[in-house]
Amino acid sequence: MAVNLPRGFRAGAVRAGIKPSGKPDLALLASGLPASWAYAATQNRAAAPSIHRGRALYAQGGPLRAVVVNAGNANCATGERGFRDDFLMAELAARRLGLPLEEVLTASTGVIGVPLPVEKIEASLPQIALTPTVEAFAEAILTTDLVVKVAEREVAGARIVGVAKGSGMIHPNMATMLAFLVTDAKVPQEALRASWRGVVDRTFNQVTVDGDTSTNDLALLMANGAYGEVPLGPFFEAVEEVARELARKIARDGEGATKLMTVRVQGAATEEEARRAARAVAASALWKSALYGNDPNWGRILAALGNSGARFDPLKVEIRLQGIPLYRGGALPFDRERASQAMRAEEVEVFADLGEGPFSAEAFGCDLTEGYVRINALYTT
Amino acid sequence: MAVNLPRGFRAGAVRAGIKPSGKPDLALLASGLPASWAYAATQNRAAAPSIHRGRALYAQGGPLRAVVVNAGNANCATGERGFRDDFLMAELAARRLGLPLEEVLTASTGVIGVPLPVEKIEASLPQIALTPTVEAFAEAILTTDLVVKVAEREVAGARIVGVAKGSGMIHPNMATMLAFLVTDAKVPQEALRASWRGVVDRTFNQVTVDGDTSTNDLALLMANGAYGEVPLGPFFEAVEEVARELARKIARDGEGATKLMTVRVQGAATEEEARRAARAVAASALWKSALYGNDPNWGRILAALGNSGARFDPLKVEIRLQGIPLYRGGALPFDRERASQAMRAEEVEVFADLGEGPFSAEAFGCDLTEGYVRINALYTT
């Protein structure tokens, strides 16, 4: 299905020859109007030049008009040269669109430690045809993702469209999570920024495929106001729905994954503890392996909760898997075969009530499979 | 090779029928003299009754005379009953040895959520023959470990013997790390306790097999003084050597592991940051997969360092793998085939200099293999 961008946005992509596969790998997203924007980026100390530049633009506080993204090369750990190349990529996009340099954000994903082929970007950027649809952009930002990830919502006549790439790996390096949400709603930059951090914390930051955070992760929200004002409560709810849908698509498409895991934790003493507890379960290698093997091994869920740092008394905890109660202050009798059958699904839900307080959270993950190991080990040598 | 315990210690084991395999699974370690002791236990919120009891004994501050350990059942998440059963196991051992209850520590490892078969322990404990050798004890505490783990040192005539079990899993649950170090040196309890935390932080707490911390982990050091006083500096050095050797043996015998990884980090701003940085590399699923595939993928090492929370400037970082420089503020040219060949070893060393300060640390891990996934997934259903 073709998804149109909100009013005033256009996007496109081209084959620049950065991906060894020869697939489209250079993408542009632009707004006809200056957009307010919010941004969240990786905390990795080895963050790429594009992340450093994005943070600087964010701090300046001006509007944003465009994003240029390349896939196939993360332009990370490329020394001083990497900063110059990132600047050049921004400059080429700004020139192409006739925009001031500080209104163009850059993003890169792909191999680490290899200089960015700026000459390929220079040669290909002018060939990008900008259209009102999102597909070409959504495809070009992928690395080894298996599927394109797009989500959309409407709110009081305005539209929100989000696109993301997830945890694929490109030879010989790491996953990057990129997410771009654009809307034609008119939202002041302060309001956008005040809410975005929370949305990201509840969605993209609750995705875990293998516990490794990339050097290039970012999540962007742009509002160009082409439609006009909308009530902010419903607007941010819709934004969060788009972000959540993308987060789940990223988890489902994790490397080697055969199923999506949603962990819902309630009864935590604080929201942060709820989030940590949910993430700990979604990230546990032991539990992820059991999930793969359809083994209703609740002891691993309990142990992961116990490692999360969230406070609880094991005698008050309740654990359910696909709705089946497995543990309530102690092992419950349950039909192991039936529970295992219930795990043979595309989506598996883990529920835990910590019995400690009023806070809840979700996390999104996938199973750990031999495929994950093969993709990441038996592939370059 | 038979390893004798230090003077005044005896140990033994028996088949109590707790392990489904029928192997020895109930073990006793006892000192003829009251011993000073130090102890470190899991921080897991879902800690087993044996851990709660051990912490209480520790806080009382009295001497220790014996440890009773069962393998095959963790007696964890077994509700109120679990606390009673743990108490009963201690009582049975105290009666067998003619000791006060509060001088007997308990430890359990194995399946979670299944009541401890105390009647089997009651029937079998009297049959344990105590001998001056460590082998029977060392074997009985194992679960799916492939090898017995023993280490010993002599210091100024006194002896230190350590035994550990590592990250095997017993159906249907999780790994536990247990370590018991005993010495006939005479060391005041305060000195023992003051140093033990640091030793554990630098050794056992730097082992990572899959990032999951068990509900039953503990590390114990007992000094019965049967030999007499020794200089404390060399003594604690020797204790740390024993602990380090055991930690490395645990990592090497990680589930599915084909090789031992030692990560040495230097140049960190604080000791804690050095430890976190080293652990992050040893724990990275992406890097562990590359290690398995003999892929000298330094980008994953850099990204793991970046995720550790340790401060550094990527332009000042240096990374070496098996002594081969791969990165110094940027990618270095290196012979990829030669580096890959160098990784085809039983032991692989990762070295990173963060260029930020004077602190260094080690961490111990293993590769992530299809075997790990198989052991933990494709095994119960």
Q: In what order do the strands lie in the sheet with A347-353?
A: A324-328, A318-321, A347-353, A260-268, A359-366
Q: Do B212 and A303 touch (CB under 8 A)?
A: yes
Task: Give the integer Cα–Cα distance in Å for B159 and B156.
Answer: 8
What letter represents residue A101's amino acid? L
Q: Is residue A233 domain-shared with residue A279, that is, in the same domain?
A: no
Decide if A235 is inside a domain: yes
Q: Same domain for B182 and B330? A: no
pLDDT class of B102 with cuts at 50, 70, 90: very high
> Of A47, A77, A295, which is closest to B299 when you measure between CB atoms?
A77
User: Chain B, 28-47: which have a CB under 8 Å from a chain A CB?
Assistant: 43-47
pLDDT, position A338: 96
Q: Is the pLDDT of residue A174 over 70?
A: no
From A214, A230, A250, the end of a domain falls on A250
Average pLDDT over residues A175-202: 91
Task: State the average pLDDT over residues B375-380.
Answer: 67
A369 falls within a domain: yes
The count of structural domains within chain B is 2
Residue A272 sits in a domain whose CATH number is 3.10.20.340
Residue B24 within any structural domain of the chain: yes
Q: Is pLDDT above 70 for A200?
A: yes
Task: Provide mean pLDDT across the span B269-285.
Answer: 94
- Residues A194 and A320 grouped into a single domain: no
Same domain for B209 and B178: yes
- Flag whether B1 is in a domain: no
Q: Say whether pLDDT at A155 is over 80.
A: yes
Q: What is the pLDDT of residue A175?
A: 53
Residue A159: predicted pLDDT: 96
Chain B neighbors of A331, CB-CB under 8 A: 77-79, 113-114
A63 and A151 belong to one structural domain: yes
Catalytic residues of B: 176
Residues A43 and A166 reside in one and the same domain: yes
Residue A144 lies in a domain: yes
Q: Is residue B141 part of a domain?
A: yes
Measured in angstroms, the CA of B78 and the nearest CA of chain A are apart by 5
Residue A192 in any domain: the answer is: yes
Lowest mean pLDDT among A298-312, B212-226, B321-335: B212-226
Q: Which of A51, A86, A212, A217 is the mutation pick for testing B, counting most B CBs within 10 A?
A: A212
> Looking at the predicted structure, is the pLDDT value of residue B315 above 70?
yes
Between B327 and A373, the higher pLDDT residue: B327
How high is the ipTM of this complex?
A: 0.81
For B40, the domain range is 9-252
For residue A110, the domain's CATH number is: 3.60.70.12
Is residue B265 within 8 A of residue B274, CB to CB? The reply is yes
Same domain, B199 and B272: no
Which has the minimum average pLDDT: A168-177, A226-235, B189-198, B327-336?
A168-177
CB-CB neighbors (< 8 A) of B373 in chain A: 289, 292, 368-370, 372-373
- The answer to whether the annotation marks A381 as part of a ligand binding site is yes
In this structure, the answer to whether residues A357 and A267 fall within a common structural domain is yes
Examine the domain organization and report whether A155 and A226 are in the same domain. yes
Residues 183..212 of B with a Cβ closer than 8 Å to A: which?
210-212
pLDDT in tens, A64-93: 999 999 999 999 999 999 999 999 999 999
Average the pLDDT over each of A16-25, A41-50, B170-179 and give the range with the smallest value.
B170-179
Look at residues A41, A42, A30 and name the one whose alpha carbon lies nearest to residue A68.
Answer: A30
- Give B156 to chain A, closest Cα distance, Å: 40
> B224 and B279: one domain?
no
Q: Is A168 exposed, middle or buried (0-12, 13-18, 19+ CB in 10 A)?
A: buried
Answer with the one of A250, A270, A302 that is the final residue of a domain: A250
Give me the pLDDT at residue A381, please: 38
Neighbouring CB atoms inside 10 A of B326's CB total: 24
Q: Which residues contact B224 (CB under 8 A, 6 or more apart)?
A: B6, B7, B8, B9, B31, B32, B33, B34, B35, B182, B183, B184
The pLDDT assigned to A233 comes to 95
Would an 8 Å CB–CB cutoff place A255 in contact with chain B? no
> A250, A274, A293 — which closes off a domain?
A250
Residues A245 and A188 in one domain: yes
Task: Kindly state whether residues A334 and A219 are assigned to the same domain.
Answer: no
Helix axes B298-307, B271-283, angle to 10 degrees: 130
Mean pLDDT of A229-255: 93
Residue A2 lies in a domain: no
